[in-house]
A = this chain, B = another copy of it.
Amino acid sequence: MERQFQLNLKKSKLKFSVTVTLKKDVLDPQGKVVLNTLTNLGMTSLQNIRQGKFFEIDIETKDQLEGEKKVKEVCEKLLVNLIIEDYKINKL
């Protein structure tokens, strides 16, 4: 019985990934710098690089829908600037 309890404890965590990218029409100077540096290093076939952010979030819940709702709240509260950025949530 205690073992079962421990198994349940172990399962009560869900892992999500969040990818934040700049919207299509927003300039990305950081990506430009990376592109220029790589071109200077001799990589000629690169057309474009855009940089974004990536988060792995562990949430204490067993319910995937509830987890996704929480992650969405996290994104909109802190991680994402909705004016210039888009985000995508994936279950890991």
Contact = CB atoms under 8 A, between A and B. Distances in A.
A59 B45 contact: yes
A51 interface: yes
Number of copies: 2
A52 B70 CA distance: 20
Contacts of A54: 19-21, 51-54
A19 B41 CA distance: 21
A64 to B, nearest CB: 14
Contact of A34 (B41, B61, B73, B79): B79
Interface size class of A (residues with CB under 8 A): 20 to 34
Contacts of A51: 53-56
Nearest to A79: B34
A78 B41 contact: yes
Contacts of A45: 59-61, 70
